[in-house]
Amino acid sequence: MLANFDFSVIVNALPYLFLTGMTFTLTLTALAALGGVILGTLIAMMRLSGLPVAPVVAKGYVNFMRSLPLVLVIFWFYFLVPYIGQWLTGADRPIQVGAFTSSLVTFTLFEAAYFSEIMRAGIQSIPKGQSAAASALGLTYWQSMSNIILPQAFRNMLPVLLTQTIVLFQDTSLVYVLSITDFLGAASKVAQRDGRLVEMYLFAAVVYFVICFFASTLVRRLQRRIAIIR
């Protein structure tokens, strides 16, 4: 099998694969993870608040997003959002939304539903006595969350948040269905151009495995390092 394996195709494509494809993938992963954590934290706080409507809205959003296939959400934002933008703005033609912007919005909104559940578990892991103490000091709900509860919750949930980010890194390969040049998309274009599908797809699989395995190992070490012995 390896007798017909052409390594030169991989070597020649390395600059394109990593400078163009992997750069897009890592940038999308980092920005979507940051936006997902911020939005997810707000959703988690809404769900745990005592407001009459906020918990219902937050729960509905989480259940809705987690019930949809990610690839469907990607298609929805890429093809339908321009027409929704046209309808909202009253423009004469659909609003142009770039591939990167569309992907970033999609992954941010989708991953926020998962990050919110992680943050909700982290917030609920903090002893209730600390919330009671914050209330006794006269702090509002948002003040106690931002100054007391959330810093501890982030510490407890950091390994899980990073693990979800690794999953996000893998999921970004789905933008390939939109012909976007992420890492997998770049590998596919080289494979189709040179007719070397086995080499390129196998190399892409190896790269994803190495990155995810190395990142998972670092997360496990971090988890042991920051673990609080009770």
The predicted pLDDT at position 184 comes to 93
How does pLDDT run across 195-219, given as a tens digit for each residue?
888 889 999 999 999 999 999 999 9
- What number of other Cβ atoms are within 10 A of residue 47's Cβ? 20
Structure tokens at 158: 């950091």
Which residue range(s) make up the domain with 76?
2-226
Residue bearing the bigger pLDDT, 222 or 33: 33
Identify the CATH number of the domain in which residue 171 sits: 1.10.3720.10
How does pLDDT run across 27-83, given as a tens digit for each residue?
999 999 999 999 999 999 899 887 789 899 999 999 999 999 999 988 888 888 788
The predicted pLDDT at position 76 comes to 85
Per the structure, the count of domains in the chain is 1
Structure tokens at 93: 């033609």
Residue bearing the bigger pLDDT, 2 or 77: 77
- The pLDDT > 90 percentage for the chain reads 48
- Arithmetic mean of pLDDT, 145-173: 89
The predicted pLDDT at position 35 comes to 96
Rg (CA), the chain: 21
215, 151, 211, 157: which is closest to 184 by C-alpha?
Answer: 211
